[in-house]
Structure 1
Amino acid sequence: MGTSSGRRVGRPRAAQRPDSGLDPRAELLVAAAELFTTRGYAATTTRAVAERAGMRQASMYHYVSGKEELLAELLESTVTPSLDRARELLADDAAPAEERLRALCRTDVELLCAGPYNLGALYLLPEVRTERFAGFRAVRSELKDAYRQLIAATAVGGGLAKGELELRTDLVFGLIEGVILIRRSGPERPVGEFARATADAALRITGA
């Protein structure tokens, strides 16, 4: 029989929801982002994610393997754009390292503050330390190393001993990721102002 009613062909939904224009996997990610950051990861069931996305739990497994896959993708989405920007800035050695470091700090803060949900808070989950999330930790480590390279390329950073360079990198990276907690207590702060102030503070830590 034909589908003369005009409805989309696909797996049935558990409830009627306004058409977001997103594909089912993207809807699951949005639902997971909301529930993981408001209810907590451990307290969120796959059924709850599926229902929030407007589909049956059995249908969810057609698109993802479960909660861990959703969490891994959400985590990596908070780092990958900053890492792409970091690679661009590292390659642009015509610009002063101080300017490139400031640009990376601002990009990173703006990304962590983007969107309606504080996805950076998911970094604090104990589950993130397990092998399942090694991919996220590897990407995050590469981003941190980009910060180290940019700090080392500054006028001050070039003269630092290895231990001091590592310490300042840890402090700058900790400051950037600290916006996760600051945003939790003050989400009304304008992101642009917040990013500028954080970048200024990061450069002071480096001595640049």
Structure 2
Amino acid sequence: MSASAAVEGGRARPGRPRHIPVLKSSSVAPRDQILQASASLFTSKGFAATSTREIAEAVGIRQASLYYHFAGKDEILAALLGATVRPSQDKVAQIEADVSPECPEAALFLLALIDVHTLANAPHNVGMLALLPDVVSANDGEVYAEFQEERRKLASSYATFGTRLAEQHNAPTSGEALGAMLIQQVEGIITLRADGIAVDELRAKQIAAGCLCLCGCGRDRIIMAQQVAEDFLSQHLHMDAPGIL
């Protein structure tokens, strides 16, 4: 991942986060409230500096209740980091099954667009957490290693889709290197969010189009790929989050 800041907005903010309503008064599931509170605390204070007691207080529950949903802070972190890559990777098989092999541009555009959606809607820009030193060293690296493996699978999917295009358009880069370039192109969203730049529908499409450019695609093929991807999204994936797609 490429980013210029360590937390959303560029620096950790002092003070306690806004108190989150107690579980009984909220329609949000308890587990999700814990994840939301943890995302806020981890990105503002840092992972190591945040205790499970603080997370429980932010949600409005007892510390013992938190352990009903998560074994500890490391498990919460794993869930947050996994949510930045797993939703995109989970769509790869469906893309391969439903997008025509004759339109590899659309497959890559679609994967990039879905991945943009995943990162743009992650709470508190938690994609930034993977860059923090205290996260990298968390739990002797086990949580981070699990996330890195999931991210590696997603990069491999980018490599597969991208190489099909690169070979077709005689682009100079293919394989693993191209996969790394493509996933980093999309992960630029993390930096945009940290800099306070909104990731709207136009920027989402520009980022996806940039992936196709890296594979040697011209303007006409990019326009075609965008149309196919949009039709696929509306018919099959129903991704209608506010402000994007």
Range into which the TM-score falls when normalised by the shorter chain:
0.7 to 0.9
Deviation at 1:16, TM superposition (A): 6.9
Deviation at 1:67, TM superposition (A): 0.9
**2:129 counterpart letter in structure 1:** L
Partner of 1:54: 60
Choose the corresponding residue for 1:192, options 186, 189, 201. 201
What count of residue pairs does the alignment treat as equivalent? 192
User: Which stretch shows the higher mean deviation, 139-148 or 30-39?
Assistant: 30-39
Q: Structure 1: which 4+ aligned runs deviate by more than 3 Å?
A: 155-161
Aligned counterpart in structure 2 of residue 100 of structure 1, from 82, 107, 111: 107
Displacement after TM superposition at 1:158 (Å): 7.6
Quote how far apart the aligned CAs of 1:88 are. 1.4
Q: TM-score when scaled to structure 2? A: 0.70
One-letter code aligned to 1:204: C
Q: Which amino acid aligns with 1:67?
A: K
Identity %: 35
In the TM superposition, what are the counterparts of 1:1-208 in structure 2 within 5 Å?
Answer: 17=22, 19-92=25-98, 94-95=100-101, 96-126=103-133, 127-128=135-136, 130-154=141-165, 156=167, 164-187=174-197, 189-208=198-217
Partner deviation per Cα, 1:104-149 (whole Å, 9 max, x = no partner): 1111012101154101111212334612333322221111111111
Is the alpha carbon distance of 1:94 and 1:58 closer, same or farther for their aligned partners in structure 2, counting shifts above 3 Å? same
Q: Distance in 1 between matches of 2:54 and 2:75?
A: 15
- Rounded Cα–Cα distance in structure 2 between residues aligned with 1:122 and 1:16: 24
Offset of residue 30 of structure 1: 1.4
Bigger radius of gyration: 1
Mind listing any 5+ residue stretches in structure 2 that lack a counterpart? Answer: 1-19, 218-245
Instruction: Tell me, in whole angstroms, the C-alpha distance in 2 between the residues paired with 1:42 and 1:193.
Output: 37
Where does the alignment leave 5 or more consecutive residues of structure 1 unmatched? 1-14
Instruction: For residue 90 of structure 1, report the CA deviation from its aligned partner.
Output: 2.3
Deviation at 1:173, TM superposition (A): 1.2
Q: TM-score, normalization: structure 1? A: 0.82
Q: Distance in 2 between matches of 1:31 and 1:79?
A: 20
Check whether the contact 1:78–1:111 (CA below 8 A) recurs between aligned residues.
Answer: yes
